[in-house]
Structure 1
Amino acid sequence: MKILVLTWEFPPRIVGGIARHVAELYPELVKQGHEINLLTIEFGHAPMYEEVEGIRVHRVPVEPGDNFFHWIANLNQSMGKHGGKLIVEEGYFDLIHAHDWLVADAAIALKHHFKIPLIATIHATEYGRYNGLFHNDHRYISAKEGDLVYNAWQVIVCSDYMRHELQRTLAVPWDKMDVIFNGIRPEKKPRLHEFDAENFRRRFAADREKILYYVGRMTYEKGVQILLRAAPKVLWEMAGQVKFVIIGGGNTDHLKDLARELGIWQQCYFTGFMFEEDLHKFQAVANCAVFPSLYEPFGIVALESFAARVPVVVSDTGGLPEVVQHGKTGIVTRANDPDSLAWGILETLRNPDYVGAAIENAYRDLGRRFSWPKLAQQTEAVYRRVVRERSQVEW
């Protein structure tokens, strides 16, 4: 099959989880014999066209806008124009696959103009991120999500939680959705013997300190503030021998102020953005990963920790309880509850026997449930079903 993919992020442009998702899913589909042309936006010194693991990557220029929504409109105009040119020059495509609302207008226009069935993957919803729609920006984005799923022949979501959410908030019919988990490439994680782990670790904590970390965006729904509020209890029980490392770019001033207010500033390290090579090494030397999200459609960060053999503590929101099996591959705590989170962290730091078993169970689970070759086969099955259905109807 010949697939046209639209995504607003692709490495080296990494904004959230979509970049890693598309960069790791489509090489597996290429291996299965499919031709993938991927449209994304220009970024830095990345070439406007290149082949990445068999994916034909086309980066399009985007004119600056007066605001974010104007920029998105320009993005879609550029993608639509380039996508149409590609279809005319390269011949018929079997499917268009769009990732989230930001590329919806271009994907929908190409679908109707060329009569090519559209598949949409919804990675998160605006309603879910804010637990409601409270102003016009929220409602605008939600409407774009609604347009995309309405125009899609089939919708892919990353968890059962998201399937329920789309049915509830966007009125997507149950049988129009397929659940396909996110995956991970565990082989990319280094082991301790492959670098100077001892000295690398000392960049973040003293030898006597346990390293506990969060990595991700610094937005309210990620729950970093819950982790900081759990920290005093953890530090009290662990005689202060824990370093809380907060990894991620963006504005962290409010979180730093909270750390000072709670009296834990000396035990916190806000690293800012961390390059992937260093992040892989960091995970190898850490003692515990914590993801206290208030909203999390899936939780690919938990898989990253599984692959790095780091024990995880997560909240019971969204898709996280589907990814982390409580007591077997990690600990699941109550969302928005610092006491519950502190309990989960202490259970992990104090029980090396449990940690050893959980790490092994989690690593095995990667091959069973989160292997990209298997997930690509599931995606291919959706593709084949849609192509078959398309062949049976007049458009």
Structure 2
Amino acid sequence: MRILMLSWEYPPVVVGGLGRHVHALATSLVTAGHEVTVVTRHAPGAPLEEYSEGVRIVRAAEDPPLFPLATSTLLAWTMAFNHTLTRAALRAAATGEYDLIHAHDWLVTHTAVTLKECLDLPLVATIHATEAGRHQGWLPDEMNKCIHSVEWWLGHEACRVVVCSEYMRWEVTRLLDLVPGRVSVVANGVDSSVWKAPSRAVNAARARFAGEGPLLGYAGRLVYEKGVQDLIAALPELRARHNGLRVVIAGDGPHRAELQEDVRRLRLQRAVSFAGFMGEGELPALMAATDALVVPSIYEPFGMVALEGASAGAPLAVAATGGLAEIVEPGETGVTFPAKSPEALAASVGTLLEDEPFARRVAKKARTMVGRKYGWSTIAANTADVYRTAITEAPGFAARQAAAVLEHGRPQIVVPDGNLLTI
């Protein structure tokens, strides 16, 4: 198949998990024999067009009028970005043929719908998270309501919607008024080899952050919905039961100052380290050095950090919410606790700290499970299946089949790569 993929981030532009996801999916689809063009945002110093790892990358240069990428100007920036993204995508389409458009998240919706209409191609949309979900079911301001309306539009323009978990299928069908049968679940993937750190790096991370007692870890954005405040609230009880316990918080975000104030108020400054953003060069070693990686999210469409932590070999303690509840089987591949409950968090983490053989056993099972279920070759194959379904369900497919019969005189099947199979 020939896929025209749209994403507002792609290496070297990586803002969050979406950029890494699109990169891994695109390269894995190419490895499986498909042709992929990614149209994305330009980065200073990057070429406007190149082939990298088999993927054709077309980057949209920013137009001269400046719209800052900031919360207050996000909608204006998005509209300006879609103008230049559309022109770049049309240039790409002028020099290539495609079977399908795949749009990632609401920020590329205007371009996706324009291409769908201009090129008469099926549109698949991956909705990685929803605006209402990020705000615990609320749309507090006009900007949030506008984003929600764009998500609704994208969902209804696409012939297939892809989400990363059964929880997200429930969420998008409810929030966006979608028929469940049009929504396909394809999990996010992970390259397990990237998250296996050498022993010397693990020992160095342990020496840097741990004291004489156990070490807990957290990795992710510092925003309210990630629940780090509940981890901090659980520390007095955990430290009372486990002498010398320390916590390292890797990540950054707008909630950092408030979390640091929580730490000061509880007099935990010597027990909690805010390590800031850590890349893939440092994070695997930190995860492997912990006695438990805690994922206390309130809202989590999938839970990539759980896959990454399991790949690194960390015992997992996760909130039983969203996609996390589908990844971790309690007592088998980790432990779980109800979200927003510091007391339950402390109890679950305690089961890992008090029984090291159990902790290592569930960590080993989790690593094996991730390699079996969440490898990128599997995820790419599942995504390609969705593409094939989208092509056969798209308006005009029956007419194209009939035209093939008229042209060749015998019944034909037009398969996604453009070839004909005689029946």
Q: Does the 8 A contact of 2:5 with 2:102 survive in 1?
A: yes
Tell me if 1:353 matches 2:357.
Answer: yes
Sequence identity percentage: 36
**Corresponding position of 1:22:** 22
Q: Can you list the C-alpha shifts for 1:176-208, whole angstroms capped at 9, x where unaligned? A: 011011111111123443x354334322233x2
Q: Does the 8 A contact of 1:192 with 1:285 survive in 2?
A: no
Distance 2:377 2:197 in 1: 23
Q: Can you list the C-alpha shifts for 1:89-144, whole angstroms capped at 9, x where unaligned? A: 22x31100000001111111111111111100000001111121122111000000
Read off the aligned partner of 1:123 and give its amino acid letter.
H
| Secondary structure at the counterpart of residue 294 of structure 1 | coil
Q: Does the 8 A contact of 2:128 with 2:301 survive in 1?
A: yes
Q: Does the 8 A contact of 1:94 with 1:117 survive in 2?
A: yes
- TM-score, with normalisation over the residues of structure 1? 0.95
Read off the aligned partner of 2:11 and give its amino acid letter.
P
Read off the aligned partner of 1:232 and give its amino acid letter.
P
**Corresponding position of 1:96:** 101
Task: Give the gaps of 5 or more residues in structure 1.
Answer: none
After TM superposition, give the deviation of residue 158 of structure 1 in Å: 0.4
Read off the aligned partner of 2:311 and give its amino acid letter.
A
**Corresponding position of 2:77:** 71
Distance 1:389 1:144 in 2: 23
Q: Does the 8 A contact of 1:38 with 1:56 survive in 2?
A: yes
| Secondary structure at the counterpart of residue 365 of structure 1 | helix
The structure-2 alpha-carbon separation of the partners of 1:389 and 1:367, relative to structure 1 and needing over 3 Å to count, comes to same
| Secondary structure at the counterpart of residue 134 of structure 1 | coil
The structure-2 alpha-carbon separation of the partners of 1:199 and 1:179, relative to structure 1 and needing over 3 Å to count, comes to closer
Tell me if 1:42 matches 2:46.
Answer: no
After TM superposition, give the deviation of residue 394 of structure 1 in Å: 5.0
After TM superposition, give the deviation of residue 344 of structure 1 in Å: 1.1
**Corresponding position of 2:149:** 143
Distance 1:118 1:321 in 2: 30
**Corresponding position of 1:372:** 376
Q: Cα RMSD over matched residues?
A: 1.5
Q: Can you list the C-alpha shifts for 1:280-322, whole angstroms capped at 9, x where unaligned? A: 2222222211110110000010000110010111111111100
Distance 1:59 1:328 in 2: 44
Aligned length: 391
- TM-score, with normalisation over the residues of structure 2? 0.89
Q: Does the 8 A contact of 2:192 with 2:371 survive in 1?
A: no
After TM superposition, give the deviation of residue 31 of structure 1 in Å: 1.4
| Secondary structure at the counterpart of residue 281 of structure 2 | helix
Tell me if 1:305 matches 2:309.
Answer: yes
Read off the aligned partner of 1:110 and give its amino acid letter.
L
Distance 1:358 1:388 in 2: 42
Distance 1:369 1:335 in 2: 25
Between 1:140-149 and 1:378-387, the stretch displaced more is: 378-387
Read off the aligned partner of 1:341 and give its amino acid letter.
L
Tell me if 1:269 matches 2:273.
Answer: yes
**Corresponding position of 2:130:** 125
Tell me if 1:217 matches 2:221.
Answer: yes
The structure-2 alpha-carbon separation of the partners of 1:362 and 1:196, relative to structure 1 and needing over 3 Å to count, comes to closer
| Secondary structure at the counterpart of residue 47 of structure 1 | coil
Distance 2:50 2:266 in 1: 49
Question: Between Structure 1 and Structure 2, whose CA radius of gyration is higher?
Answer: 2
Tell me if 1:80 matches 2:83.
Answer: no
Q: State how 1:209-358 maps to structure 2 within 5 Å.
A: 209-239=213-243, 241-251=244-254, 252-358=256-362
Distance 2:144 2:197 in 1: 43
Q: Can you list the C-alpha shifts for 1:205-247, whole angstroms capped at 9, x where unaligned? A: 33x23221111111110111111101111111102x1211111
Distance 2:311 2:80 in 1: 38
| Secondary structure at the counterpart of residue 265 of structure 1 | coil
Q: Can you list the C-alpha shifts for 1:245-287, whole angstroms capped at 9, x where unaligned? A: 1111223111100111112121010011112201122222222
After TM superposition, give the deviation of residue 18 of structure 1 in Å: 0.9
| Secondary structure at the counterpart of residue 297 of structure 2 | coil
**Corresponding position of 1:161:** 167
Between 1:15-24 and 1:288-297, the stretch displaced more is: 15-24
Distance 1:44 1:255 in 2: 33
Distance 1:44 1:219 in 2: 28
| Secondary structure at the counterpart of residue 203 of structure 1 | helix
Distance 1:39 1:285 in 2: 38
